Every structure is written in C-alpha cells, then in structure tokens.
C-alpha cells in the first residue's frame, strides 16, 4: 500500500467502528501477548499502522507517564481520531507520525517495543517493511507482530457457498500485493536480520451464531463483500451466494464459526 487511497479495506467512519469492535473481540489476545513480552511502565513504544489508535491507547495505559507511545500511520483520518482521544485524556507523551513503515525516517535505537497488528499482511514487501523499522529498535528491544495464517477460517455446518470465502480473501489480499498467510514468512525475515524469535503463538477464536467472534466476522464479510467483488476476488453471483449462506448460518442455532488463525510473533534485537 503506497498511500491511504491504495489501502484495500478503506478509510472511513464505518471502517473505524469496525476496527473498534475488532479491537474489543481480540483485546485479550493482544493483552496476553503484551503480558508475555513484559511491556511495562516506562517503555517507549511504536505502534505501526495504528489505525485509530485502539492498541496505542492500551499501550499508553501500560507505559504510563514515564514511557511514551509513537504511532506511525498513513491515514490522516485515523491520526486525527487518536489525537482527539489523547487530548481528551490529557496525554502529553504521544508522538504522531504520518507515513508508511517502508519509507518513514525514524529515530535510531529509540524503542523498547515496535508493535504491528493487521498491517504487514497487506503490504507487497514484508521484509522491506520490517527492515526500515529495525534501526529504531533498541538493542534488547522487541518487534511484535500479530497477523494471519488465514486457513483457520470456517463456517460450520460446511457445504454452502461460504466455503469459498478463504480463496476469496486470499485473492483480495493479493490485489495489493499482500499475503493472507504472511505469518508463515515472518520467522525467516526475523532470522535473516539477526532477531531472536521469542514468541510464535497461534490463536483461533470460535463461537456460535450470536457470539462476538461471528459478529466481528459479520462486520468484515457483509461490509466488505462489495469491495471483494470490485477487486475481482470473487464474482457478484458467488458473493451474493456467500452472503445468503452466511445469513442462513446466523439464524441456525447449531452454527459454529472459527476465525482465521492470528499468530503472535515476537523477535528480540540482539
């Protein structure tokens, strides 16, 4: 994604609200990841592709007044949202950087933590993305990434049109040069650039037709289906059939939805 126009999920109020809901559903997974890493008071953190800043706000709570949070984000709309939230809270130790991971000029050896959630799967060159960030990480600091191995996705009972959703998502991510299985590539990049892999933990959430996790997926598949048709990831006919199958499952008390696998990946700079 070269600029915010090219970002395949769009930048708008509806997408901001989807990201807020998404943050609530996956918050425990992200919080547990931070607990394992040991993110603590006084840490200096960079949140790359922060979106509206939902994780950045949690990080600010963790690091307190002694620490700091910097966001790096290409969408000015999301930066403005986080600015307003920070002002409301009277936070002064926040830095807002407008730009992309691949091209941003960052301060050297500055951060204890660089965090990247649901961003690197969209970019054409994940190695370039990581390498440009690494010089800003302190020795002993951690780069922590959460992203997909999309294969966990499943809507049960199977047998309907939604079974085509995985191949559609793979194609949709690929439109921007992205990779819905990017999590499989990260360890090799970490190793190549001298990072010690300290965490690689997969997570899948599952639930019935009224669960938060299916509501999370609903906000993605029903709101983005037109974008996936427009990108050529699926046809209008198959898109409509997938949605019909989806809505039928939501009325079936025996439905189980399994999320795509999200992997926590952490590398320590030696």
Ligand X SMILES: C[S@@+](CC[C@H](N)C(=O)[O-])C[C@H]1O[C@@H](n2cnc3c(N)ncnc32)[C@H](O)[C@@H]1O
List of residues contacting ligand X (CB under 6 A):
1, 4, 7, 9, 19, 23, 48-51, 54-55, 72-75, 78, 100-102, 117-119, 122-123
For residue 143, the minimal CB distance to ligand X (Å) is: 14
Measured CA angle at 173 (ends 169, 177), to 5 deg: 155
Residue with Cβ nearer ligand X (77 or 200):
77
For residue 52, the minimal CB distance to ligand X (Å) is: 7
For residue 120, the minimal CB distance to ligand X (Å) is: 8
For residue 50, the minimal CB distance to ligand X (Å) is: 6
DSSP string computed for 128-179: HHHHHHHTTEEEEEEEEEEEEEGGG-EEES--SGGGGHHHHHHHHHHHTT--
For residue 17, the minimal CB distance to ligand X (Å) is: 12
Residue with Cβ nearer ligand X (74 or 239):
74
CA atoms within 13 A on the CB side of 29: 22
- Inter-CA distances, 81 with 77, 102, 130, 266, Å: 6, 23, 26, 28
Residue with Cβ nearer ligand X (72 or 144):
72
- Inter-CA distances, 212 with 24, 87, 262, Å: 9, 30, 16
48 and 72 in contact (C-beta within 8 Å)?
yes
Residue with Cβ nearer ligand X (65 or 125):
125
Residue with Cβ nearer ligand X (119 or 228):
119
- 256-258/68-73 β-pairing: unpaired
């Amino acid at each position: 994604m070269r600029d915010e126009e090219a970002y395949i999920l769009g930048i708008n109020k509806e997408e901001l609200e989807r990201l807020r809901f998404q943050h609530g559903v996956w918050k425990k997974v992200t919080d547990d990841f931070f607990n394992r890493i040991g993110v603590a008071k006084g840490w200096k953190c960079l949140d790359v592709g922060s979106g509206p800043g939902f994780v950045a706000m949690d990080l600010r709570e963790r690091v307190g007044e002694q620490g700091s949070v910097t966001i790096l984000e290409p969408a000015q709309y999301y930066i403005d949202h986080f600015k307003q939230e920070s002002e409301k809270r009277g936070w002064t130790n926040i830095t807002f950087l407008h730009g992309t991971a691949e091209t941003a000029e960052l301060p050297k050896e500055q951060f204890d933590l660089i965090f990247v959630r649901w961003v690197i799967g969209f970019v054409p060159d994940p190695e370039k993305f990581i390498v440009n960030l690494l010089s800003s990480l302190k020795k002993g600091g951690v780069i922590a990434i959460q992203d997909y191995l999309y294969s966990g996705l499943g809507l049960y009972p199977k047998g309907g049109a939604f079974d085509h959703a995985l191949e559609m998502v793979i194609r949709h991510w690929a439109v921007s040069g992205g990779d819905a299985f990017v999590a499989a590539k990260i360890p090799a990049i970490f190793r190549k650039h001298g990072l010690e892999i300290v965490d690689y933990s997969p997570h899948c959430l599952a639930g019935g037709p009224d669960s938060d996790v299916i509501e999370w997926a609903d906000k993605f598949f029903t709101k983005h289906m037109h974008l996936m048709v427009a990108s050529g990831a699926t046809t209008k006919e198959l898109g409509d059939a997938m949605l019909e199958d989806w809505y039928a499952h939501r009325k079936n008390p025996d439905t189980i939805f399994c999320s795509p696998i999200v992997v926590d990946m952490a590398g320590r700079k030696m």
